[in-house]
Amino acid sequence: MSILVAGAGGFIGGQLVKSLEEDGHTVRAVDCKPAHNWYYRSATAENLIADLKEKDACSRATKGIRKVYNHAADMGGMGFIENNKALCMLSVLINTHLLLASHENSVERFFFASSACIYPNYRQKDTDIEALKELDAYPAMPEDGYGWEKLFSERMCRHFREDFGVSTRIGRYHNVYGPYGTWDGGREKAPAAVARKIALAVITGQREIEIWGDGEQTRSFMYIDDCIKGTQMLMNSDFSEPINIGSDEMVSINQLVDTVEEIAGIKLKRSYKLDAPTGVRGRNSDNTLIREVFGWAPSVKLLDGMEKTYRWIYDQVKARAEGRQFVAAL
């Protein structure tokens, strides 16, 4: 099957390309980043560099394609999305033009990678939050910028399905992490940032770690393997409503640091940057619906996933400290 992965040069997109090829599919991989900045670049996929915010680029990318996975977006961790709201919202052009091109080129199925950031802020004000159900999205008050773009694009997917017959699927991701992802530079998310800071402490001998906020804010974190499995399971199903794809193992950021310290065999003094961006106070995935529909939910424990993630990031940090470049192959 000919499949388009938009955002294939990114963390999730790259691992999706690898998984699809292992399953025997023919993949067209598209990203706007230069080839040397792709997280994974298949030797056998049709790799294209194109800006999918442009309608013509989307038309070319979807020709001859049966399925589209849209993971293309300008995004990052909380520090990025709170300070780049306009850039995040411009990603709506990608989904708009990909949906139009998919309709014009008779694409059979379209997956949109949405986010838990679509959930209303008023439901996420406490650390001991009630897990978020799919129906909690409305009345809407999502994360400003990034969350609004994702929610608007969800509605477009719905109406392209209802009005034009484009068979859309919507997965609401909750904090995806794992090896081979962004671990520095400002776009990294909490698991990678914590792993990098602790790896640096181990390598340099420093004994302090800076934590954004008071460390009591809560989240759930989904390992990349669960993300890829849930994504393909949804894409290949007949279920067309938005659905959570996320772990329901909620922890505080302090507990996340505890976990990585345990893996690294180190204990650090903690300093708290109380004026740093932290996002909502608490967030967790309610997995009732995904269990009812698929008899499955993300299940990789944080300790197990962070063990693999920390080891990979440690190797990156150590290589940089020694003046060399190290990126283990996928």
What residue segments make up the domains of the chain, in order of their start?
A: 2-176+223-245, 178-220+249-284+301-321
- Please answer whether residues 124 and 283 qualify as being in contact, where contact means their C-beta atoms are separated by less than 8 angstroms: yes
Question: Could you tell me the pTM of the whole model?
Answer: 0.95
330 pLDDT above the threshold of 90: no
d(CA 103, CA 166) in angstroms, rounded, equals: 6
pLDDT digits (tens, 9 = 90+) for 80-108: 889 999 999 999 999 999 999 999 999 99
- The domain over range 2-176+223-245 is classified in CATH as 3.40.50.12280: no
How is residue 188 written in tokens?
Answer: 């990294």
Q: Which amino acid type is present at position 126?
A: D
Kindly report the average pLDDT of the chain as a whole number: 96
Contacts of 56 by beta carbon, 8 Å cutoff, 6+ apart? none
Q: Do residues 132 and 116 touch, judged by C-beta distance below 8 A?
A: yes
pLDDT (tens digit per residue) in 190-237:
999 999 999 999 999 999 999 999 999 999 999 999 999 999 999 999
Closest by CA to 225, choosing from 22, 9, 6, is 22
Tokens of 205: 């001998």
**CATH code, residues 178-220+249-284+301-321:** 3.90.25.10
Q: What is the pLDDT of residues 18-41, one digit of tens each?
A: 999 999 999 999 999 998 889 999
CB 153 within 8 A of CB 92: yes
CA gap 327, 330 in Å, rounded: 9
Q: Given pLDDT bands bounded at 50, 70 and 90, which one contains residue 183?
A: very high
Active site residues: 146
Band of the pLDDT at 258, cuts 50, 70, 90? Answer: very high
pLDDT the model gives residue 29:
98
Does pLDDT of 328 surpass 70?
no
321 CB-near residues (< 8 Å, 6+ apart): 200, 203, 204
pLDDT digits (tens, 9 = 90+) for 39-66: 999 999 999 999 999 999 999 999 999 9
Whether 2-176+223-245 and 178-220+249-284+301-321 share one fold: the answer is no
